[in-house]
Amino acid sequence: MTMGEKTDKTPRNLKEEMRDYKEKLLEVSRKASRCGRSLKQREGEVRDLQKTLTKLVTLTELSRILNSTLEPGTVRRRAMQAATELMEAEVGSLLLIDEETNQLYFEVALGDKEEAVKTFHLKMGEGIAGWVAQHGEPLIVHDAQSDPRFFRDVDKKSKFTTKNVVCVPVKVKEKTIGVLEAINKLDGGAFSEEDLSLFQSLADQVAVALDNARLLTEIEELFFQTASCLADAIEKRDPYTGGHTKRVTTYSLAIAEQLDLDAEDIRWLKLASILHDIGKIGVEDKILRKPDKLNEEEYDQMKQHTLMGAEIIGHIKQLHWIIPGLKYHHEKVDGKGYPEGLADGYIPLIAKIVAVADTFDAMTSDRPYRKAMLKEEAFDELRRSCGTQFDKVLVDAFIKAFETGKI
């Protein structure tokens, strides 16, 4: 095949590639065991065996990464690292198409020039990657510098020299959503037809992983928006709490960021913040909408919203992680809160965070029977209540988030 000529090989899947490598492995080991070979021949066969073994291990690793439940960004990066290793290339990139601008941007660009490379956006048809994206066909370029499609600006800015390239489209249901490219075969070698075929099968697997991640994100967004609508509908019954849920969620997430909680905990905290008062659906209008302070009996009824919220969500087994946030967000660290009067060490973190966020918003919002406090007054009140109502670490984190402009 000449420089830049496209392949007509049909891409195969990873399983087929792995089967081929296993067969090659067996063949080489059979050859190596035959007698009468010269030492030089044997050395070559052992090198082939090692190369094939390395490819097999990398393929297995890549398949594991793509099927893992890691965060999508991490999956893309690790997959690209394994793919570059498999291609025996100096660097590799994953470029995706921005549907709004119809341009390619670097989602992953391996190597120490990543920051410089990521500032580039390629027009459709621009450069080798743009050509592959536009035509939806794979390409090997053996001498990039003399190829008219080569886009020099990326090299100039990143002070890198592109010698040869293998580039394949990433397609979801026949639609090109991006490209994978591996640049500069190591040891001055050339990319082969075998490389191209293998790279294309990897790209097909990457496409499946990317599409799964997109679907997951969409489902998750739909779920959070549905939960927010539900909370909003309940909030609408109470004329004094407009926007409360959104603010409590913002405050809780700001505390979580200060505490450096992991992504999974933040996800549950976000949902608990959105749904923390869902139990108010079971509180009578005359109590919920009462413009004056509640009497003791009414207050007792209002307190039930914590248990009712926990009961409602208790029917959804996948959401059991957020129940403590709903049930215990009115507990106090001195044990004088409700519904169970739990003391500090027994109150779950998720509930303690929602408590700070919820109380701050209540203090800084107008009520019919009192005016809203200024933020500074509310901060002082939170500080005064450390050790009785709130956990000091969380109050400090919350105030710091405000002071550093995170809220």
> φ and ψ at 397, to 5 degrees?
-60, -40
Cα 94 off chain centre by? 16
Q: How far apart are CA 182 and CA 196, in angstroms?
A: 10
Residue closer to Fe ion, measured from CB, 85 or 277: 277
Residues present in the chain in total: 407
277 binds Fe ion (CB under 5 A): yes
Contact letters (x/-) for Fe ion, 228-267, by CB under 5 A? ----------------------------------------
Residue closer to Fe ion, measured from CB, 277 or 391: 277
Q: How far apart are CA 272 and CA 321, in angstroms?
A: 9
Query: In the sheet that 165-172 helps form, which strands lie side by side, from edge to edge?
Result: 121-123, 103-109, 89-98, 175-185, 165-172, 139-141
- Give the interface segment with Fe ion, choosing from 1-9, 89-97, 155-163, 275-283 (CB under 5 A): 275-283
331 binds Fe ion (CB under 5 A): no
- Give the interface segment with Fe ion, choosing from 142-150, 276-284, 314-322, 336-344 (CB under 5 A): 276-284
**Closest Cα partner for 306 from 290, 325, 288, 319?**
325
Structure token pair of residue 264:
């999974």
CB of 367 to Fe ion, least distance (A): 14
CB of 86 to Fe ion, least distance (A): 54
CB of 382 to Fe ion, least distance (A): 17
- Amino acid letter, residue 163: K
Task: Output the residue with the shortest Cβ distance to Fe ion.
Answer: 277
- Give the interface segment with Fe ion, choosing from 24-32, 92-100, 271-279, 389-397 (CB under 5 A): 271-279
Residue closer to Fe ion, measured from CB, 23 or 300: 300
Residue closer to Fe ion, measured from CB, 120 or 328: 328
- Give the interface segment with Fe ion, choosing from 90-98, 176-184, 273-281, 338-346 (CB under 5 A): 273-281
C-beta neighbour count of 274 within 10 angstroms: 24
CB of 122 to Fe ion, least distance (A): 51
**Extended strands (E) in 66-193:** 89-98, 103-109, 121-123, 139-141, 165-172, 175-185
CB of 339 to Fe ion, least distance (A): 11
Residue closer to Fe ion, measured from CB, 195 or 277: 277
Number of residues that bind Fe ion (CB under 5 A): 1
- Residues linked to residue 106 through DSSP beta bridges, in sequence order: 95
Region of residue 152 (left: phi > 0; alpha: psi -120 to 50; beta: else): alpha
CB of 354 to Fe ion, least distance (A): 8
- Amino acid letter, residue 368: P
Binding site for Fe ion (CB under 5 A): 277
